[in-house]
Structure 1
Amino acid sequence: MPPIIEFTAPPLPHYIVSGSAVIPVNGKHPSRQNIGAFDLLVVEHGRLFIGEEGRDYEVAAGHALILRPDCYHYALEGCREATLHHWLHFQLMGDWRVVEDEEYRHCGCSMTDKDIPGSISLPPFTATSYTVPLPQYAKLAQPQKIITLLNDLVDLNRNIHLDSVRLRQQALFQDVIVELSASSAHAGLPPQSACAEKAASYLREHYDEPFSAQKLGENINFHPVYIARCMQKVFGCSPAVYLQRLRIEQAKLLLLQTDLTIERIAEQVGFNQAAYFTACFSKTEGISPRKYRQRFIWNKD
């Protein structure tokens, strides 16, 4: 199976240039090496026959292929019919890697730690990173939607001298990336990751309620022991620890955005006792809730 290109954001991928072309019968896509940018190919009509690093691809209508910037890609044969395709060059400005399909499905791993609330103490309102999987080769879920976006990108080139137009192109390109990621049959999570994500979603919706492993299992239809194993693998902690970290994160927001008392905040985020909340908060953040609030809120008195 084709590999997955996984990148970390922010920063978001950067659009460079795009266009479309018709390759005649017996014509070929150019062979190139180390072009320094990703090359997205979307076929609207006909077929392209391309190889890269020993993998052969037959890119039919409604399919997409991403050629990597650090590889040699080459034509396998000429087009058997006139082939209309769209091309787009882009850069991944941050970290990225190539993951084999089997590895991605097996472990659901990523380059960065999963979004574990409170896993690292960060300043308030800090942007956190996340990973996005792109199929190197895929049948598009909505090919016409991507083709329309690609045509819109090209139409904007007539006013490329305007900064506002360049910004618009970047925004449209992000829509292309979203569609590509969603089109992959591989975007479905591996079983353990799917279980962990379901548990995390449930805990996020019910963080202010009393925790019960049994209740969690009943609501997401997995055995509590299996849930704990999956969350440990994906998030590096048990459901109870994940929930406590989530409650601390919610408490931090309330400390900065409201004038609620410490006792009231503890109650709102699911702690039965303010003293226990303070102890948990201090252990996680290295500072008490009161001092945390004082650090970021200016008191004119």
Structure 2
Amino acid sequence: MEEKEHIYFAAPPLPYYLESGETFHAPGDQHPSRKQLGIFDLILMESGELFIGEEERQWTLTAGQTLLLLPDRYHYSVRPSEQPAHFYWVHFQSVGEWQQTGQEQASLDYEAHQKRFLTSPYSLHLPKKWTLPYPEQAFRLMRTLNKAGGERQSSAFWTQQQTFEELLRLMDLRQTDDGISPVVTLAEKAEAYIKNNYRAGVTSKTLAEALNFHYNYITRCMKQVYGMTPAEYLTKCRLEQAKLLLLKTEWPVAEIAMQVGFENVPYFSNCFARQIGLPPSKFRKRYST
């Protein structure tokens, strides 16, 4: 049975590629031991077995399996290979927040992320240990990564970053129906409903009826996934649209408030100033030409 332990990355920014390669083990060869390497190490097995540990935990990796080793842990060989083995590896790093958990959802600092990047994060879910559903696709991406290392640096950089992002997408459990949790599914449905109906009067009743779940449960799911209640997410969505209208139109502030779903103009202005840091009129004056 596959482990349900994941590594969560808040994006943007996405983790970025550093280097990659492939290793062939003869019987008796073993993985090097490392401590506090400072980078993530993703291993993808094509054939054979690899006996590897991280701190007090140990795994036997077989063909088609992956293991994500963390940057601040002790990695070591449990024992030498007993048969020929072939595996790929990728070293990467993340400047954004990440967390390991065995629970359904990590508790990332969404509020701090939003202040830094001015947007809600996408939580990238990578499995700690996994059996690839389409191993040949992953191996093809790895061969592209490694081959690009022989190109000119200006060309190799973009090829490798783009290919690595495609590998991340392939491994992101939120891209698969089997990997995504019911909590994330409901939170994303609530998010989509709010984005499609933010101009209207989205209420606890309309949201509950649309999704066929109790509002309190929807609130818990959104809080867990996005760090916001539905009401907070609705306000955020309306203010984001208001920012666009302030920059793209010459409509009066009152008209913009009405267009994005605020019935009370002073309340809109107060919300905007509190969340964005400037009143609507000063925001328009500062950022429009």
TM-score with structure 1 length normalisation? Answer: 0.80
Given the alignment of the two structures, is residue 20 of structure 1 paired with residue 12 of structure 2, yes or no?
no
Distance 1:262 1:36, change over 3 A: closer
Are residues 83 and 287 of structure 1, via their aligned partners in 2, closer, same or farther at CA, if it must alter by over 3 Å? closer
Which of 70, 73, 76 pairs up with 2:72? 70
Aligned partners of 1:50 and 1:76 also within 8 Å:
yes
The residue number in structure 2 matching 1:146 is: 138
What's the offset of the Cα at 1:254?
0.7
Instruction: Encode CA deviations 1:253-283: one digit per residue, 9 max, x unaligned.
Output: 1111222333432232123454554454355
Deviation for aligned residue 1:128? 6.0
1:245 lines up with 2:236 in the alignment:
yes
Does the Cα contact within 8 Å between 1:112 and 1:130 map onto a contact in 2?
A: no
Contact 1:138 1:184 in 2 (8 A): no
Deviation at 1:172, TM superposition (A): 1.3
CA drift at 1:131? 4.0
**Partner Cα separation in structure 2 for residue 72 and residue 241 of structure 1:** 41
Deviations 1:73-123 (A, max 9, x none): 2233343432221122223344433x231xx32xx233321699xx75x8x
Unaligned runs of 5+ in 1: none
Cα deviation code 1:199-230 (max 9, x no counterpart): 22211121111223222112112012322344
Cα separation, 2, equivalents of 1:91 and 1:285:
30
Q: CA deviation at 1:149?
A: 0.7
Q: Distance in 2 between matches of 1:16 and 1:5?
A: 18
User: What's the counterpart of residue 59 of structure 1?
Assistant: 61
Partner of 1:271: 262
**In the TM superposition, what is the alpha-carbon distance from 1:50 to its structure 2 partner?**
1.4
1:259 is paired with a residue whose SS is coil
Q: TM-score, normalised by structure 2?
A: 0.83
The one-letter code sitting in structure 1 at the alignment partner of 2:206 is: K
By how many angstroms is 1:190 displaced?
A: 5.8
Give the aligned partner of residue 173 of structure 1. 164
Q: 1:109 aligns with which of 106, 109, 130?
A: 106
Match of 2:180 among 188, 191, 196: 188
Letter in 2 for 1:168: T
How many Å separate the matches in 2 of 1:11 and 1:230?
24
How far residue 59 of structure 1 moved from its aligned partner, in angstroms, is: 1.1
Matched positions, count:
286
Tell me the residue number matched to 2:249.
258
Equivalent-residue separation in structure 1 for 2:111 and 2:185 (angstroms): 13
Which amino acid counterpart does residue 135 of structure 1 have in structure 2? Answer: P
User: What is the RMSD computed on CA atoms of the aligned residues?
Assistant: 3.1
C-alpha deviations, 1:152-180, integer Å up to 9, x for none?
A: 11111222x43222222122112222222
Q: Is the 8 A contact 2:27 2:80 kept in 1?
A: yes
Is residue 187–residue 218 contact of structure 2 (8 Å, CA) maintained in 1? yes
Indicate how the Cα distance of structure 1 residues 267 and 199 shifts in structure 2: closer, same or farther if over 3 A, else same: same
Cα contact 1:24–1:79 (8 A) shared by 2: yes
Secondary structure at 1:199's aligned position in 2?
Answer: helix
Task: Give 1:180's aligned amino acid.
Answer: M
Name the amino acid aligned to 1:152.
T
Q: CA deviation at 1:49?
A: 1.8
State the partner residue of 2:211.
Answer: 220
Task: Specify the code of the residue in structure 2 equivalent to 1:150.
Answer: M
> Percent sequence identity over matched residues?
36
SS at match of 1:158: coil
- AA aligned opposite 2:138: I
User: CA separation of 1:206/1:2 partners in 2, compared to 1, >3 Å: closer, same or farther?
Assistant: closer
CA apart distance, 1:41: 1.2
